[in-house]
Amino acid sequence: MESLKKYYIYLLIMLAVTFWGISYVWTKIVFEYYGPITIMFIRLSISSLLIHIIIRIKGLHEKIDKKDYLSFFIMSFFTPFCYFIGENFGLLYVSPTIAAVIIATIPVFAPILGFIAFREKVNFINALGFIISFLGVTIMILDTDLRFTASPLGVFLLLFAVISALINIVFLKKLTAKYSSITIISVQNFIGAVLFMTVFFIIDFQHFLTITPSISAIGSLLALAVFGSTLAFLFYTSAVRVLGIAKSAIFTNLIPVITTISALIILKESIEFSNILGMSIVILGLMLTQITSLKKHKKLKSFS
218 or 121: which carries more pLDDT confidence? 218
**Residue range 76-85: mean pLDDT, rounded:** 95
pLDDT-based confidence at residue 300 (cuts at 50, 70, 90): very low
pLDDT for the residue numbered 16: 92
pLDDT for the residue numbered 44: 97
pLDDT in tens, 252-281: 778 888 998 899 999 988 877 777 888 888
pTM, two decimal places: 0.84
List the domain range (segments joined by +) for residue 180. 2-303
**Residue range 172-181: mean pLDDT, rounded:** 84
Integer CA distances (angstroms), 19 to 258, 284, 291, 297, in order: 9, 22, 24, 27
Looking at every residue in the chain, the average pLDDT score rounds to 85
pLDDT for the residue numbered 159: 94
Q: Which of 283, 231, 255 is nearest to 96 (CA)?
A: 255
Secondary structure (DSSP) of 31-74:
TTT--HHHHHHHHHHHHHHHHHHHHHHHT---PPPGGGHHHHHH
**Residue range 75-86: mean pLDDT, rounded:** 95
Weakest mean pLDDT among 115-129, 164-178, 185-199: 115-129
Total number of domains constituting the chain: 1
**Residue range 206-210: mean pLDDT, rounded:** 93
pLDDT in tens, 25-69: 999 999 999 999 999 999 999 999 999 999 999 999 999 999 999
pLDDT for the residue numbered 241: 75
The proportion of the chain whose per-residue pLDDT surpasses 70, expressed as a percent, equals: 85
114 pLDDT higher than 90: no
pLDDT for the residue numbered 205: 95
What span, in angstroms and rounded, lies between the C-alpha atoms of 158 and 83? 8
The proportion of the chain whose per-residue pLDDT surpasses 90, expressed as a percent, equals: 51
pLDDT in tens, 134-146: 788 777 777 666 6
Secondary structure (DSSP) of 234-303:
HHHHHHHHHH-HHHHHHHGGGHHHHHHHHHHHHS-----HHHHHHHHHHHHHHHHHHHHHHHHHHHHHHH
